[in-house]
Amino acid sequence: MPGIVEESPIEIAIVGGGIIGLCLAAGLIKQDVKVKVYEQAKGFREIGAGMAFTANAIRCMGLMNPDIASALRSGGSVATSLDKDDPNDYLRWTDGYNKRRKDDPTYQPLLYKIDAGYKGFEGTRRDQFLEALVKVIPQDIVELKKRLDTIEEKGPDGRVQLKFTDGTTAVADAVIGCDGIKSRVREIMFGSDNPASYPHYTHKVAYRALVPMEKAIQALGEYKARNQHNHVGPNAHLIHYPVANQTMVNATAFLSDPNEWPDDKVTVMPALRKDLEESFADWNPRLMALIQHFPEKLDKWAVYDTWDFPAPFFNKGVVCLAGDAAHASSPHHGAGACCGIEDALCLVTLLRQVKASLRGGEGSAATKKEALTSAFEVYNGVRRTRSQWLVNSSRRVCDLYHQPEWGHEQKWIKAETCFEEIKDRSLKIWHFDYDGMIKQTVEEYAKKVSSSKAGAANGKANGNGNGTAKVNFYK
Amino acid sequence: MPGIVEESPIEIAIVGGGIIGLCLAAGLIKQDVKVKVYEQAKGFREIGAGMAFTANAIRCMGLMNPDIASALRSGGSVATSLDKDDPNDYLRWTDGYNKRRKDDPTYQPLLYKIDAGYKGFEGTRRDQFLEALVKVIPQDIVELKKRLDTIEEKGPDGRVQLKFTDGTTAVADAVIGCDGIKSRVREIMFGSDNPASYPHYTHKVAYRALVPMEKAIQALGEYKARNQHNHVGPNAHLIHYPVANQTMVNATAFLSDPNEWPDDKVTVMPALRKDLEESFADWNPRLMALIQHFPEKLDKWAVYDTWDFPAPFFNKGVVCLAGDAAHASSPHHGAGACCGIEDALCLVTLLRQVKASLRGGEGSAATKKEALTSAFEVYNGVRRTRSQWLVNSSRRVCDLYHQPEWGHEQKWIKAETCFEEIKDRSLKIWHFDYDGMIKQTVEEYAKKVSSSKAGAANGKANGNGNGTAKVNFYK
């Protein structure tokens, strides 16, 4: 029988032990793929910031490995934006700038509301989710304090070799860079003189604070304080939602900044509440009242993304990028991590197909390297358009929130016409057709494998398709 | 029996005998609604410009009155963008600016292609369509040389009175302004000191020409000349498609213009081919070659729309606006008239429901005036968001075509990420859910009528719902 390939397990190196790296590892384990995660930190980063996942992304987690969704929930996730007596989540936009009623300068109209459905979002603390995720995967697959230095594609036995800055090395069949916005894998892939290797400044800065619920209620009124709201106005917006079981409000103010950021290496700078007060001095008094409860000293975050110089591709041979390493988005859709989860689902799908095609039978002449290369080509084709769209769209909605027109009464009507677009963009994220993605991924991998087999066989008829595995196999 | 209302016919005055006004008239006639069309010109305007309708808009025409779609086709409509051996229509974008290959400076990559489906567009000449449309409606319903001066809402018998500049008057139960981008009805509705009464300059100018096919083939090559293409580049684009049974190419160049347009009253100015040649001097030589076949003297059109100052509403009592009078869009989606057709379908639906609710039975206490006012309120609610979105979206896609990034090699990848958004926007236009619109229109009118009846009856139980007529009655 021709074409029988030795069945040694596929070994995948994941660079980066963040949310996407660990979810991907948990998904691959479920497919009996051998995985190692290399994380540069001493432990899993303990950043206490809140993050939310859409119901759609949580379903993607469940398809990869039901334990991921359990980990999210065991971390104490909560729906972020629940109206009283309404099981659905909403996003809400209000006029943050104007005093529309002379008799009540604190009046703010609800400009728009989008229904995200039942448990449309689930919020969690990043550190809590990570901690729970670590428990999902066997302890010995994670190696800490491993900062990637280089990747050598032609390592021992033609496999790929990772070199770390501590002088150690590791070998794998393929490398997936999940090492975030400042990805070293991306830098290696595109070269240090290529602007696509680095994120760039979005010309927006962010100030974050946690405000005790009773103070937030004093400032905003009970309904606004207890429910997510996005206050829009000229060149800035302020978004807040309840956290910690409605005991705190997590508030973030984003300001447009026409200047360059002074240092790409230092994207957080100390700042003063006073600066923020100056920026919002002309805004609706409710916002100024809320800002009074921010700490006097706070951080100013420069928002970076890959909009200016997107990655031209996410794959090179048996190396690929996923999550923020591939497409770092500004946070204005709150969907950056969700998009990384979709990436991971696509990769888990592909590696399952790679295994199936290698298990082989007649005609499966592809080597592991060829199969993995094909898989990552398919991944690039399936994921790049949507994920780069998200980067663009996150910029775009922020521009709409910051329309200068909010500041001119004659232009309010024009400014308010933006919400149909914001709704469409939100629904494109929330209603992602992951079943369609899985189907497309399986089909395109089968096509690629059968065409390279046809090529390898030099015109021989292509018998049964190993790649045409059943679609929707997760169900 | 209480609440029986005298059944006198509803009389509608349509201001403007353009495409939308005549399609609306043809739709209302089919519902046995009495209609008069008042057109200011001596005859139907003989502007020979080409226009295209989407397959979706043509289905909307058919739902209003199958004779409309027949009129379109009898005018000799043709699919505009047919690939050889492919029954579907496509939109195609190519790099109009760069010389991407040193060995072949005329090389232009196909950047993107969207499948609009079988007969996705049908193009026609405006004058031919109008001429055929006129034959669909009885001759005596059109009055020419009637330039609207004022509308008096409290005319004889509480009906609405139109006064024309020739001193004559007319009376109707309701007025629908289909009088185009420079609508007098809009000006009357919002007042002459309101910027929403007038369209504003989009900061784009257009130059149009018809080029004989053989010349176009010399310039562009056979495939491009015979198929629709949109050549994009920094601050300009040039779009062309075959017309006149593939004997001519209709080409339009759009340029960004940072300046103000000198005179809102005169939006066409004489210009020279030389001006256009200067603007495209740095572009791909194929475009310069095409422009050589433009006439030496040509017109420069200022593109106006209602983006800066949208109509805050489309209805006021028994007066409403439809088509460009309500929402004048720049032409960059090629969908302005399609959106007006959707308006007309909504209005035909409503007037049918008004008739049904007045035919009445128990509880139908609404007067004609109340019923028509309610209908126009529903119309405003159903149509305003989508149509104003189209105005915004037409601006947005032009901005994407004109991205300065096309001019910088390092930014090409970024510029090319725009097409996912352009696809989404195009599909939102082409895949309009008109059945959903009809259903929504019928339901919201029923709700409005029953709630005003409940109000009128001061709490009396609302018996059978006259408004809850069958949905999809056109089928």
Integer Cα distance of B445 and A86 in angstroms? 26
Query: What would the pLDDT profile of B389-444 be if each residue is shown by its tens digit?
Result: 999 999 999 999 999 999 999 999 999 999 999 999 999 999 999 999 999 999 99
**Chain A CA closest to residue B418:** A389
- C-beta of residue B68 within 8 angstroms of C-beta of residue B23: yes
> Which of 159-198 (B) contact A at CB < 8 A?
195-196
Best of A384, A420, A425 to disrupt the B interface by mutation (most B CBs within 10 Å)?
Answer: A420
Q: How far apart are CA B177 and CA B372, in angstroms?
A: 15
Q: Do A420 and B388 touch (CB under 8 A)?
A: yes
- CA–CA–CA angle A172, A176, A182 (5° rounding): 130
For chains A and B, count residue pairs whose Cβ atoms are closer than 8 Å. 57
Best mutation site among B414, B423, B426 for testing chain A: the one with the most A CBs within 10 Å?
B414
Q: Which residues contact A265 (CB under 8 A, 6 or more apart)?
A: none
- Measured from the Cβ of residue B4, the count of other Cβ atoms closer than 10 Å reads 11
Smallest CA–CA distance, residue A429 to chain B, in Å, is 13
Among residues B198, B241, B379, B474, the one annotated as catalytic is B241
Picking from A421, A423, A425, A431 by the largest number of B CB atoms within 10 A of its own CB, the best residue to mutate is A421
Residues of B within 8 A of A417 (CB-CB) are: 310, 385, 388-389, 391-392
d(CA B227, CA B240): 8
State how far Cα B349 lies from the chain centre.
18
Q: d(Cα B149, Cα B425) in Å, to the nearest integer? A: 38
Contact B410 A385 (CB under 8 A): no
3-state DSSP assignment of residue A217: helix
- Beta-carbon separation of B196 and A413 below 8 A: yes
Beta bridge partners of residue B152, listed in sequence order: B161
Predicted confidence band at B461 (pLDDT cuts at 50, 70, 90)? very low
Q: Does A421 touch chain B (CB under 8 A)?
A: yes
Of A349, A359, A355, the closest CA to residue A379 belongs to A349
Tell if the CB–CB gap between B388 and A417 is shorter than 8 Å: yes
Q: Residue A226 catalytic?
A: no
B392 interfacial to chain A (CB closer than 8 Å): yes
Which of A241, A304, A401, A445 is labelled catalytic? A241
Give me the residue from A310, A418, A428 closest to B417, CB to CB.
A310
In this structure, are residues A181 and A170 in contact, taking their beta carbons and an 8 Å threshold?
no
Say yes or no for a CB contact (<8 Å) between B424 and A428. Answer: yes
- Cβ distance B329 to B396 under 8 Å? no
- Chain A positions touching B418 (Cβ under 8 A) are 392
Instruction: Kindly report the number of other CB atoms within 10 A of residue B168's CB atom.
Output: 13
| B445 tagged catalytic | no
* d(C-alpha A325, C-alpha A312), whole Å: 13
Q: Does B414 touch chain A (CB under 8 A)?
A: yes
Q: What pLDDT does B433 receive?
A: 98
Query: Looking at the DSSP assignment, which residues form a beta bridge with residue B438?
Result: none
pLDDT at B363: 47
Say if residue B6's pLDDT is above 70: no
Give which of A335, A424, A396 is closest to B425, Cα–Cα: A424
Does A100 contact chain B (CB < 8 Å)? no
Which of A403, A414, A433 to probe by mutation at the B interface, max B CB count within 10 Å? A414
Percent of chain B with pLDDT over 90: 78
Predicted confidence band of residue B458 (pLDDT cuts 50, 70, 90): very low
What would the two tokens of residue B111 be? 């950047």
* Whole-number Å distance between alpha carbons of A381 and A386: 10
Asked if A310's CB is within 8 angstroms of B413's CB, the reply is yes
Residue contact B413–A196, C-beta within 8 A: yes
Residues 6+ apart with CB under 8 A from B303: B201, B202, B204, B205, B206, B254, B330, B331
Residues of chain A found within 8 Å of residue B413, distances taken between Cβ atoms: 196, 309-310, 312
Beta-bridge mates of residue B142: B37
By the CB < 8 Å criterion, does B381 face chain A?
Answer: no
Q: Where are the alpha helices (DSSP H) in B40-136?
A: 55-64, 66-74, 126-134
| Of A250, A257, A291, the residue nearest A273 (C-alpha) | A291
**B431 near A CB under 8 A:** no
Q: For A1-125, where are the alpha helices, taking DSSP H only?
A: 19-30, 55-64, 66-74
CA–CA dist A212, B131 (Å, integer) = 70
pLDDT band at B87 (very low <50, low <70, confident <90, very high): confident
Contacts of A308 in chain B (CB under 8 A): 411, 414
- Indicate yes or no: CB of A413 within 8 angstroms of CB of B310: yes
d(CA A445, CA A436) in angstroms, rounded, equals 14
Contact state of A389 with B195 under an 8 Å Cβ cutoff: no
Lowest mean pLDDT among B43-52, B132-141, B341-350: B43-52
Interface residue B421 vs chain A (CB under 8 A)? yes
Cα separation, A310 vs B430, in Å, equals 29
For A412, which residue in chain B has the nearest alpha carbon? B309
- B176 membership: H or E segment, kind and range: strand B174-177
Rounded to the nearest angstrom, the minimum Cα separation between A196 and chain B is: 9
Assess A392–B contact: CB distance below 8 Å, yes or no: yes
Tens-digit pLDDT string for chain A (475 aa)? 344 445 578 999 999 999 999 999 999 999 999 999 999 999 876 566 778 899 999 999 999 999 999 999 886 666 665 666 788 899 999 999 999 999 999 999 999 999 999 889 888 888 889 999 999 999 999 999 999 999 998 877 889 999 999 999 999 999 999 999 999 999 999 999 999 999 999 999 999 999 999 999 999 999 999 999 999 999 999 999 988 778 889 999 999 999 999 998 999 999 999 999 999 999 999 999 999 999 999 999 999 999 999 999 999 999 999 999 999 999 999 999 999 999 999 999 999 999 998 886 544 557 999 999 999 999 999 999 999 999 999 999 999 999 999 999 999 999 999 999 999 999 999 999 999 999 999 999 999 998 876 655 543 333 333 333 333 334 3
Across the range B163-182, mean pLDDT stands at: 97
Q: Give contacts of B385 with chain A, Cβ < 8 Å.
A: 417, 420
Q: Which residue has the tokens 């109707």?
A: B172
Q: Which residues contact B349 (CB under 8 A, 6 or more apart)?
A: B438, B441, B442
Instruction: Tell me how far apart the alpha carbons of residues A428 and A437 are, in angstroms, rounded to a whole number.
Output: 14
Residues paired with A240 in a beta bridge:
A229, A251
Residue A352: which of A471, A189, A272, A465 has the closest Cα? A471
Q: In A, which residues are within 8 Å of B424 by CB distance?
A: 424, 428
- pLDDT, residue B469, reads 35
Please give the structure tokens belonging to residue B328: 């004048």
Q: Chain B, 250-309: which have a CB under 8 Å from a chain A CB? A: 307-309
Within 8 A by CB and 6+ apart from A337, the residues are A19, A20, A51, A53, A57, A323
Confidence of residue B466 (pLDDT cuts 50, 70, 90): very low
* pLDDT at position B156: 78
Residue B386, min C-alpha distance to chain A (Å)? 8
Cα gap B168→B271, rounded to integer Å: 40
Q: Find the radius of gyration of the CA atoms of chain B.
A: 24
Nearest CA distance, B413 vs chain A (angstrom): 6
Which of A309, A385, A421 lies closest to B392 in CB terms?
A421
- CA B446, CA A35: separation in Å to the nearest integer? 61
Pick A236 or B468 by higher pLDDT: A236
- A243 by DSSP, 3-state: which? strand
- The pLDDT value recorded for residue A87 is 84
Angle, alpha carbons A433-A437-A442 (nearest 5°): 150
Residue given tokens 């422009």 in the structure block: B291
- The confidence score (pLDDT) of residue B456 equals 55
What radius of gyration do chain A's Cα atoms show? Answer: 24
Q: Which residue has the higher pLDDT, A214 or B86?
A: A214
Longest dimension (CA), chain B: 88
CA pair distance A404, A415, nearest whole angstrom: 9
ipTM, 2 dp: 0.92
The predicted-structure confidence for B342-361, as pLDDT tens digits, reads as follows: 999 999 999 999 999 988 65
Tokens encoding B453? 């009846």
Beta pairing partners, A162: A151, A170
